[in-house]
Amino acid sequence: MTSALTQHQPWSRQQRRRVFWPVLGLVAAACCAVVVIGLAVGDLAPSTVATATLFALLPVVVVVGTFLWLDRWEPEPGRTMLAAFLWGAGVATLGALVVNSVVAVTYGEYTSSVVSAPFAEEALKGAFLVGLLWRQRDEIDGLVDGIVYSGLVAAGFAFVENILYLGRAFDTASIDGYSVFVVRGVFSPFAHPLFTVFIGIAVGIAARRRTAAARVVLPFVGYLLAAGLHALWNASALWDDGQGFVAVYVVVMVPLFAGMLSIALWQRRREQRVVAARLGEFVQAGWIPWYELDLLSTMRSRRRWATAMKAQYGRDAARAVRAYQVAVTELAFLVTRLRHSRTDPRTDPRVAELLAAVGGTRARAVALTSAGR
């Protein structure tokens, strides 16, 4: 094997080799978020903006934490996840603010809320997911990855939008601010993610299809579903002095949220079964030892293994074990993808790269534990 293979970094870290343009993109997205907040709440008192930001942080921590929890089998690149959040918080919100403002002035607030906002916002949020699908398809292993990325984009969007709504509400009266927080932060913190996750699911499915047509049609169908649900949600707040909102929340949103949660959990368990199935093959091929099969087969056993290594040999040993676990997982997902596409894993250079990574990370873990560090 070449030296390039022995120096493999997990694909979640390989993007660090190309720094300038990704970092420039993050800065641009962050600047967009600052512009949006400045335009919308620039005339408010700093204390009001600070209060609104604090209250907006509470639901976003829960939402982001939920999607990160779903992403534990093969964690996505940290920088790409940050980019997803900032895209939603900056680019999508700025674009939506411009489009919705123009439509509101031209056609009225109702058209802006029910037509412009759903279709423009979901298009702008979905653009990040479609970009991933076409430019970094290897980063998307299936439904879970699509759900995670869409959830983070939507969480960023909702975070900035909540600052805007809460800022205006707290500027009017404290009771108005608390009411808005209860509606948006307590009863419907997952509203935006629930809309955009339709695009994420479509992108996750499309990533496993071989045809370009699937990568066009499926995200578009997901977009129509996301925008349609978003339009229904916005329109319900204007029906019967808010009574329609309650009906849509109970009859539509709650069952949909439960259904999406069930899909996410089912797919997460499916990922575990995929990894477990490949591990047996890896043992037979001699790629991993048989006595590590149980240690690698569940998230709980992996966590306990890393915790035990940290307690007995130190932090570096635990990091080495976790790196080994990630390499094995990446190999399992790659082999599965190749088989679904009817490609012989033995002919794909990425398999050789990851095999070198599995051997290298395991050797480092063994060396650290043998040294007693």
Mean local confidence (pLDDT), 47-67: 88
Give dist(CA 8, CA 122) in Å, integer: 37
Mean per-residue pLDDT, 211-226: 94
Q: Which range has the worst mean pLDDT, 34-48, 154-168, 249-263, 327-341?
A: 34-48
What tens digit of pLDDT does each residue of 268-310 get?
888 888 888 899 889 998 999 999 999 999 889 999 999 999 9
At 372 the pLDDT is: 52
Q: Is the pLDDT of residue 42 over 80?
A: no
For residue 358, what are its two tokens? 């599995």
What is the rounded average pLDDT of the residues 248-273? 88
pLDDT of residue 22: 59
- What percentage of the chain carries pLDDT values higher than 70? 90
Domain ranges for the chain: 8-238, 272-370
Over residues 101-124, mean pLDDT: 94
- Average pLDDT on 129-139 reads 86
Is the pLDDT at 363 greater than 70, yes or no? yes
Q: What does the pLDDT average to over 134-163?
A: 88
- Nearest Cα neighbor of 337 from 351, 326, 325, 324 is 351
Contacts for 345 with CB less than 8 Å, ≥ 6 apart: 334, 335, 338, 339, 351
Q: What is the pLDDT of residue 196?
A: 96
Give mean pLDDT, residues 128-152: 88
- What single-letter amino acid sits at 9? Q
pLDDT on residue 23: 59
Name residues whose C-beta falls within 8 Å of residue 28's C-beta, 6 or more positions apart in sequence.
90, 91
77: left (phi over 0), alpha (psi -120 to 50) or beta: beta
How sure is the predictor about 338, in pLDDT bands with cuts at 50, 70 and 90? Answer: confident
